[in-house]
Structure 1
């Protein structure tokens, strides 16, 4: 199973691209800023290079986990000890990969798993933190919705093209 690292690098950009649209003032940005207790002036005080750079780094970290969730053949590879062990794997591994090496390797399949990761993993995390921060349900749904859409797109790119 070969990995397309360009697809992984590209999928990490999705967090920034979706965020640019999702949090735009004409979409959810104005409501989100109000619910977060921010103003346009206060949000401009942040170090954008640091924020965008770390966002991309953290997004790359997420691609590693999403790859395991969306590409089911990763589990088969893990069973033999990872890529270094492919040459010494039993013939049954090669037969399995021949038969199923590209099964469910589509954008649609990855998007489904990304969506489920957003709904059943990111949404509860956002909700828990936001409840303890006394944030509104609007705030929770805006942020959780962003992660659900973002993870669905990332999962689709990773599974379909990585």
Structure 2
């Protein structure tokens, strides 16, 4: 078996880097959605939501960097063009969302897509004995599941 510089199977690491690039593309779209709803939110809940959306997009920005650095650690190259992001993204696009419930639903729908991708990567990274990627996905999943629960509670909907 050929290994990379951190001792992981080279072929499995390349495959993981590709899957992480898909996650990166989706996180970039999620980040842009959060910026858009942060800027455009209106209504009586503006102050609370404006701050919450800033908190979420700041966190998403950190995660984008972490994903890109993990791709590099595995020996891959992080995609970095909007064309790449559009091509690989499944997260819905939020356009001119100004209403609070629409914004929260966009976040929930986006996180559901991210969670699907992350769970797939978690399985793949486990099979590759890649504890670094595995731990990252576990942390992302735990945090995002809680966010979905809180957003659904805000919407007064069942989880």
Q: For the superposition of Structure 1 and Structure 2, which TM-score range results when normalised by the shorter chain?
A: 0.3 to 0.5
TM-score in terms of structure 2 length:
0.35
Return the structure number with greater helix share: 1
Whose Rg is larger? 1
TM-score in terms of structure 1 length:
0.34
